[in-house]
Structure 1
C-alpha cells in the first residue's frame, strides 16, 4: 500500500482543474515522507461555504464557515489527538486501519483567501490540504509553539512541491 488520495467535488462555484489533483497527490506524498507515513488513505472533499458552515456548526459548535476541516479516523477518543496506526496481523485485519481521515475544503473560502494573500488558488488549496493532513496525523495549533511547528512543516512541503508564495 502507499498513501492514497480519494477526492470528490461537491460544489459548483469554483473550477478545480484535474491537474490540481495530481499536485495534491504530490503534496500528500511529500508530507507523508517528511512525517514517516508511507501508507494510508485520505479523503478530500471540496465544498462551498454553506456546507462547510453547517459542518463547522455541527462538529465544532462554531457558527460560521471556515476554510478547512479535518476529521481523523485514527484517534483514541481523548481530547488531545493521539494517532493510532494499526498494523495488519495474521490473526486480525482492521478494515479502517489504513484510513487517515477526511479533509473538507471550502473552495469559495480558498478563492477569497488566495486573493487576500496574493497567491494562486492552486497554492491556497495546496496549503489548506497540507494543513488538513497535518491535523489528521495529530498536529495542532492551539498555542504559539504548535502554530509555529505546523507553519514550518506546511511551508517545507509547499516549497518542495514548488508552490511558494
Structure 2
C-alpha cells in the first residue's frame, strides 16, 4: 500500500472513530489478494469464495459474558481484512476511485467491529447510511 493511501485510510479510521464517539482503540487492517481472503473466508466462515472485506471483532459478548477491559490499554476492536484486487475491480465497476473503494471497505469493516450489521433491511439501511455519512464527512465521495 502506498504511503498516501495508508495516510488516507488512517485518517479515515480516525474520522469514523470520532463519528462513533470512540475516544481510543486499536484496529488491525490487513491487505491481501483474492486467494488469501478466500482461504480466510473458507476457514472462518465456511464460505469457499473470495470476498471484498472481512471483519473479526475482538469482543462479541453475549448476555452471559462479562466484558473486562484494562483501562490502561487501548481497546482492541479487532481485525479488518481487505482484498486489494477485489477493491480495484469494484472501484472500476462503481466508477469511483480506488481510494474511495478502499475507504468504503475499511469503514464497512470498522462498523462491523463496532456491532453494526446488515442481517435485515432496517439494519442494512442504518449501516449503509452511517458508512456514507462517515465517507462524506471525510471527503471520500463517489
Same fold (TM over 0.5): yes
SS of equivalent residue, structure 2 residue 47: coil
User: Structure 2 matches for 1:24-63, cutoff 5 A?
Assistant: 24-63=9-48
SS of equivalent residue, structure 2 residue 56: strand
Relative to the length of structure 1, the TM-score reads: 0.79
CA distance in 2, matches of 1:145, 1:123: 25
Residue 118 of structure 1 is matched in structure 2 by 95
Is 1:19 aligned to residue 10 of structure 2?
A: no
RMSD over equivalenced CA pairs, Å: 1.9
Q: Whose helix fraction is larger, Structure 1's or Structure 2's? A: 2
| Alignment match of 2:80 (pick from 97, 103, 116) | 103
| Superposition deviation, residue 143 in structure 1 | 0.6
Residue 140 of structure 1 is matched in structure 2 by 117
| Alignment match of 1:69 (pick from 54, 62, 65) | 54
| Superposition deviation, residue 34 in structure 1 | 1.2
CA distance in 1, matches of 2:2, 2:59: 30
CA distance in 2, matches of 1:85, 1:18: 35
CA distance in 1, matches of 2:55, 2:14: 18
CA distance in 1, matches of 2:108, 2:68: 20
Relative to the length of structure 2, the TM-score reads: 0.92
| Superposition deviation, residue 24 in structure 1 | 1.0
* Structure 1 alignment gaps of length 5 or more: 1-15
Q: Which moved more, 1:22-31 or 1:141-150?
A: 22-31
Distance 1:28 1:85, change over 3 A: farther
Runs of 4+ in 1 over 3 A off after TM superposition: none
* Structure 2 alignment gaps of length 5 or more: none
